[in-house]
Structure 1
């Protein structure tokens, strides 16, 4: 157990399994039952919203509370719900039927959740497309999904416009935040501008039968190589996620020996700084879904900037922030350098990429009031699958937490046999939030889904209580002369250096050993630590064969996809040739 000084004497007051049993007991808010899902007995939250339409109805009950803030625009829950309903009615009037795909391609804007729920209320499968994609990539998503409708902002429409003829199923394009174009219909023609949404008629959504196992979402995987696959999520899979953070918070209270506070409608509104894109499952299910469920305000940033984030947190009184670990590092660094303690902020939660154990210690030093939290999930698990916060996280700083009680984990060897606690193997998962498969790809579905279990491709280990630690991606693990090297372990050792704020470990070719570890690191602003010094630092913490033989100092942030994963393929050329020079990057590295 960690010796972190923030863990009080006598903690935990309640054993982990006892806390879980108390929270999930019959009649409790987090009661669990077992039900067949696609023929497989699966644990579910009894009181979770059965469908995303039920989640929408919960959101309607938050009324005139502010739901979304974007620059100088403010939208209430009432305005959002009326606009989404108006869009759903317009889509059904235009012939959209249950199971049709409605694609969404836009940055985080107030129109995004309206478009998403407008599609869902019409019975369509909401299909978010990566707003970072190029025109040909967007066209791929539209063709692959067979989307009949595209809702796009001006920047995305400009990219896709030359390729519209390549999308035969596409029948209608709705646009926002752009000048009129004869090839598209302004979204405002159907729902009006955001400032007028609250004045729209209070009409019911279309009367369409929706069940928990009906298809609801089609999210494209955020892999760093190859064509993305479309993961088909059900209403239950998406709605399950809204229970994750409330459950984790309640467990934290019990572990301290305190009773979880009862919901208080008169309590000040929670306010979350939304940084991660909504087209990613973490942004959509874990952030947007949680806000709709709990009545929280979402403050959208036009573009991530740590200094601007400090201003928004103070101006809006944000109580939580997060995203990927890199965002948390940059926020803590900016707050320290600016001398701004951010008194309203009491929680920072991150996931989407491995978080070094040193991050939780850095947050504690810079923002001691903040309760840190982290978890693990993927597109195929509809975001959060494991989670912990507070003292549990402080005691297990390298872990991404235990699985939620409706989720199951197996660590298996290459033959699929279960391994004991502490052993490293492939992580396999099962739960109501696991998607049903890949769109129009039976071979890929059969390759990783079997009897309710998903093979994740992650190497992991779990302790006796179930606290999970991701060790590496199977495909990213290095093998040096027959010795396995887990990149995450080496990266964590590099993160422990006070000047290193980002790191990635990649293979360096070797004529006899096959490959050795090399590292690319990003230093904090103003730091001048040499690659040799960083290598010596790592050598004090790692076995000799794991120490990077080359370290390159990278100027600027490492390239990452919207999910926070480092784009390793774009960096591999840096170590394409063996070199005796530590830290001598190619010209493209600066």
Structure 2
């Protein structure tokens, strides 16, 4: 089925993915007509999954009903503490069963959830608390140890709730278990009424912080509509894939089990992952930290259907010498975003796992999904980030932002739709620079083809300009990834007195594989123009450093040269 036919069928009047136009901040915008109006509405809808297992963490299993009861009780406790609409409540912890419970308890009161990066240092976490003006903080024991010295200095912080603390925390801090018990107790909590709060779709819901690869992280202020949009966007993309294949999308989503290894404080995991999986009644497995062998054990034991996150995870599953000791046949999809992937990876996922690969494009400012790419379309176009969902628009603009470029030309990607956040928290100048009449200026260099498929070429700031010639890092990285010894790589610019800068590469080789600098340079030279060949290559033993969003920290790599 053609793209046009699939879109027309899926979005027809009365169809599940019907659209309507509403005005959002003065801009007429296509939205999903059947999206839940708020996070509170979503939480009430998914109670219908009852005794189905919602989350698994080690030996803990929480059902949808038990989670619903815990949300109701925790929201009641927060209301007693004076938390109400518009208050900021921060959440800093690793992926634990209580993470989504806390998230929905806050959001169901109309308060604003501030998921803080659990990888941050104490000073960075303190910055997030001060910048957001959070009046209450939820932490796990590790983040509590990192932050407890500064609680009294944060005048606006009224209360700290600590999960899984060994000892009574004291001072401003109380134990989460004192409020709602342990996860094993949630199913026995009394059935009380859901919190009643007046929440409109475009009310503030979340502040997710940007990855902050340059300068201080900015808080992207998102609405209930922004985040629930992903539920229908993900469903639309999956249904489009089935129609394109000649299959009929099911009336009710199949029950899937997903191994979620991306941190929930990132929009990919929370917005694109958690929201869609909850809406479909999926079972979500959490890991304390990524470990390839442990992941394969979980996939085998729980019959996991979906996993992914960043390309590194897929590579490590493929390359691990013990892979054939585990039954991974339940895997149907390995999807990732946040970082470019090699075309070779797309092919190997399909050939060696029998699973369909998937990726997409989005950013914190778009609350995750804008484009989606999977299955046969991805296999046919492995360097693309896919098609925009039906409610999104893309255009390619000059770097000055004064003119739209024709199909095929590279420029800055701009995106528009109901997933675009309101702006940056308390940063009006940065908001005005980035958000223009409903569009977000992404800072990504990209092109669109005749069918509308998106190709991310580079981050504008990562492009290497050698003597006036533009070198897009993804082009060189794709060639390096195609070498059988390379499993992780990045291109960076290094200063040059005459040319301004030159390309250099950092490479991580597969276990047991060998390749020299000269061999890889010859490999690149045989495939793309000579001026794009890295003048130097450094080899590292570990996979390349990434932030929590999966983006390679190229500023750290430049020090190797």
Q: Bin the TM-score by the shorter chain.
A: over 0.9
For residues 336 and 464 of structure 1, do their structure 2 counterparts lie closer, same or farther at Cα, with a shift above 3 Å needed? farther
Among 26, 33, 40, which residue is 2:13 paired with?
Answer: 26
Alpha-carbon offset, residue 163 of structure 1:
1.6
**Contact preservation (8 Å) 1:136, 1:163:** no
Point out where structure 1 has 5 or more consecutive residues left out of the alignment.
1-13, 576-590
1:406 equivalent in structure 2: 391
1:205 equivalent in structure 2: 194
Alpha-carbon offset, residue 258 of structure 1:
2.3
Task: Summarize deviations over 1:129-155 as a string: whole Å, max 9, x none.
Answer: 000011111110000000000000000
1:87 paired to 2:48: no
Among 531, 539, 545, which residue is 1:559 paired with?
Answer: 545
TM-score scaled by length of structure 2: 0.98
SS at match of 1:479: strand
What is the alpha-carbon root mean square deviation over aligned residues?
A: 1.2
Task: Summarize deviations over 1:230-288 as a string: whole Å, max 9, x none.
Answer: 00000000000012222112111211222222216xx5x31000100000001111111
2:482 equivalent in structure 1: 496
1:16 paired to 2:3: yes
Q: 1:405-484, aligned counterparts within 5 Å?
A: 405-416=390-401, 417-484=403-470
1:40 paired to 2:27: yes
Alpha-carbon offset, residue 339 of structure 1:
5.2
1:529 paired to 2:515: yes
1:180 equivalent in structure 2: 168
**Contact preservation (8 Å) 1:277, 1:562:** yes
Divergent runs of 4+, >3 A:
335-341
- Aligned partners of 1:289, 1:35: CA distance in 2, in Å? 22
1:189 paired to 2:175: no
Which piece of structure 1 moves more, 397-406 or 17-26? Answer: 17-26
Q: 1:40-439, aligned counterparts within 5 Å?
A: 40-178=27-165, 179-183=167-171, 184-263=173-252, 269-334=255-320, 337-338=323-324, 340=326, 342-368=328-354, 370-416=355-401, 417-439=403-425
**Contact preservation (8 Å) 2:317, 2:323:** no
Task: Summarize deviations over 1:459-498 as a string: whole Å, max 9, x none.
Answer: 0001111100100000110100000000111111111111
**Contact preservation (8 Å) 1:139, 1:166:** no
Task: Summarize deviations over 1:397-455 as a string: whole Å, max 9, x none.
Answer: 10010111100101001332111111100000011011000000101100110110100
Task: Summarize deviations over 1:347-388 as a string: whole Å, max 9, x none.
Answer: 1111111222221012123212x1111101100111111002
**Contact preservation (8 Å) 1:239, 1:285:** yes
1:6 equivalent in structure 2: none
- Aligned partners of 1:549, 1:459: CA distance in 2, in Å? 23
SS at match of 1:571: helix
SS at match of 1:542: coil
- Aligned partners of 2:38, 2:60: CA distance in 1, in Å? 29
**Contact preservation (8 Å) 2:92, 2:118:** yes
TM-score scaled by length of structure 1: 0.93
- Aligned partners of 1:39, 1:331: CA distance in 2, in Å? 47
Q: How many residues align?
A: 558
For residues 460 and 341 of structure 1, do their structure 2 counterparts lie closer, same or farther at Cα, with a shift above 3 Å needed? farther
- Aligned partners of 1:63, 1:335: CA distance in 2, in Å? 40
- Aligned partners of 1:339, 1:253: CA distance in 2, in Å? 32
SS at match of 1:245: helix
Task: Summarize deviations over 1:11-46 as a string: whole Å, max 9, x none.
Answer: xxx111111111111110011111110110101011
Which piece of structure 1 moves more, 351-360 or 133-142? Answer: 351-360
